[in-house]
Amino acid sequence: MLKKFKGVVFDMDGVIIDSEPIWRKVMSDCFLKVGIKISEEQYKKTQGIRISEIIEFYYKEYPWDKERVSLCELEDMIVSLVLEAIRQKNEMILGVCHSLSFFKSQGCRLAIASSSPHKMIDGVCSHFSLNEYFEVKCSGYDEEFGKPNPAVYIKSVNLLGLHPNECLAIEDSLNGIIAAKAANMKCIAIPEVINRNNPKFSLSDLILDNLLQIDERIWGKL
């Protein structure tokens, strides 16, 4: 008997929009303004975590003059520049519409559980006309703890009126996968190319190359 789910919860950055390279570039440029150079390895460790927590982490490690650039000002600068770049690039990740249509055809209810602030989530959904698909949009900013804590996934499932074991998560980052699994959800991982051979991603229930691979066959693999 094929296993189906009543709800599917999408991460946003790296799943719906190819924003990770944009985040890397913007964060690198903005942190340089306060004298901090972020390495690729450092970025990977914080991928999927709230930008506010990332800023707080680097401030504790390498404190700068908050009178010149406050933590909130740096966050606003990064989020605004990332959203502007996403709108200018004006494209979603390959297979987004295909996967959304497939899950809708299967009777699944859809939600977003993102580490990004509501400004980013609402901006992306509005720009790409995605509001008709998602009945729930949750931000990690509303929770005491962001990913890899499962709170944002638990809230999204609760707002759908479903149980975690009735829902499937779609993630691209290790922190996101940890969050989804901690919420007792099944999880499909679609990692960036640079993470395809990372053995830690085997924590997910299924690893795909892209969203176009989502079809009826996945039910038998979860």
Facing residues of 187 across strands?
Answer: 169
Domain ranges of the chain: 7-18+92-221, 20-89
Q: According to the CATH classification, is domain 7-18+92-221 in 3.40.50.1000?
A: yes
Specify the pTM: 0.87
Does residue 96 surpass a pLDDT of 80? yes
Does residue 166 surpass a pLDDT of 80? yes
pLDDT, tens digit, for every residue of 17-38?
Answer: 998 889 989 999 999 999 999 8
The Cα 82–Cα 5 span in angstroms is 33
Three-state helix/strand/coil letters over the chain = CCCCCCEEEECCECCCECCHHHHHHHHHHHHHCCCCCCCHHHHHHHCCCCHHHHHHHHHHHCCCCCCCCCHHHHHHHHHHHHHHHHHHHCCCCCCHHHHHHHHHHCCCEEEEEECCCHHHHHHHHHHCCCCCCEEEEEEHHHCCCCCCCCHHHHHHHHHHCCCHHHEEEEECCHHHHHHHHHCCCEEEECCCHHHCCCHHHHHCCEECCCHHHCCHHHHHHC
Does residue 196 surpass a pLDDT of 90? no
Does residue 49 surpass a pLDDT of 90? no
Lowest mean pLDDT among 41-45, 158-162, 169-173: 41-45
The Cα 211–Cα 98 span in angstroms is 7
pLDDT, tens digit, for every residue of 59-78?
Answer: 999 999 999 999 999 999 99
Architecture of the CATH domain 20-89: Orthogonal Bundle (1.10)
- How confident is residue 195, by pLDDT bands cut at 50, 70 and 90? confident
